[in-house]
Amino acid sequence: MSAPFRLAGLLRLRRLTEDAAASWWGGAAAEHRATRARRDEMYGRAVAAPADADSVASLRAIAVARSSTVALLAQLDAATEAAADHERALREAWTAARTATAGLEKLEERHDARVAQEDLTADQAALDELAVTRHGRGTPGGTP
């Protein structure tokens, strides 16, 4: 019977933590992409807006619209930067979780290799004992 990996529970917990961090990072990345797309779309609309003014009232309306657009673009720039910062922080959290999990996975691999080697050694010892026992009985080739 092979010995169980003593840190298996901790490894499961670390894997769950890593999966959760990856999920949060994925959500933040999606939010960052969506915010950046909204900002880029607004910049595209601002550039494509017609600037024809045939009266003072039209000119004032264009000025108010542009002023509003500039304010909205500033808000979208700030939101995009905040989303990028949030994504970056969650990516770093995932990296830390992955690093912690990887260390335990390496320990588990070494443990599994050691247990497999011990099992092979025990099997070989049993086969050697069987061969010695049968040879001691005087049966050639180990057949009864």
In single-letter form, the type of residue at position 40 comes to D
pLDDT at 18: 96
Q: How many Å apart are CA 10 and CA 2, to the nearest integer?
A: 19
In single-letter form, the type of residue at position 5 comes to F
Residue 67 has pLDDT above 70, yes or no: yes
Q: How many Å apart are CA 79 and CA 106, to the nearest integer?
A: 40
Residue percentage of the chain with pLDDT more than 90? 63
The string of DSSP letters for 108-124 reads HHHHHHHHHHHHHHHHH
Residue 49 has pLDDT above 70, yes or no: no
Report domain extents, the chain: 8-109
Supply the pTM of this predicted model. Answer: 0.67
What letter would DSSP give residue 4? P
On average, the pLDDT of the chain sits at 88
Rg of the chain, C-alpha, whole Å: 34
pLDDT digits (tens, 9 = 90+) for 68-125: 888 999 999 999 999 999 999 999 999 999 999 999 999 999 999 999 999 999 999 9
pLDDT at 56: 76
Q: Taking residues 45-53, what's their average pLDDT?
A: 70
Q: Taking residues 50-56, what's their average pLDDT?
A: 69
pLDDT at 3: 82
41: closest CA among 74, 76, 75?
76
Give the number of other Cβ atoms within 10 Å of residue 54's Cβ.
7
